Amino acid sequence: MDILIRKTTINDLAAVYGLVEELAIYENAPQELTASLTDYERDFTDGIFESQVALHDGKIIGTIIYYMTYSTWKGRMLYLEDFVITATYRQKGVGILLFKAFLQTAKEKGARLTKWQVLDWNEPAIKFYEKHGATLEKEWWNGKIFL
């Protein structure tokens, strides 16, 4: 299968947003997606997040969404916010292409580590990350406040 990985453009954001909607449904939390496509367009334009897309026959079939953050212990860190492949293209090698693109981007940006979250019940994702050498931390709890 011929897959192209490239940086996302503003014109790709509707498809990227659709993939995030698909992810929210997969994670049994569609009601949690409250950001709008307008929010995506504004925040992408403002450089709040970056993204890359995977294309097959000109159609966007996957995306990674990430942003630079900072670890006071390690330094620059690239955070992987979302990583989604549309259901019909999973288990076909698209994920590894996107993940490698994410890791390459982290290196290019001078990041010393990458971080992300994975749900404890998402066995396919956990196995994917472990297969590719990830350390999955289980001792840290997430904190958040909605404003």
Specify the DSSP class assigned to residue 92.
T
Q: Would you call 129 a catalytic residue per the annotation? A: yes
135: left (phi over 0), alpha (psi -120 to 50) or beta: beta
In one-letter notation, the amino acid at residue 87 is: A
Residue-wise DSSP of 18-71: HHHHHHHHHTT-GGG----HHHHHHHHHTTS-EEEEEEETTEEEEEEEEEEEEE
Q: What are the residue numbers of the active site?
A: 129
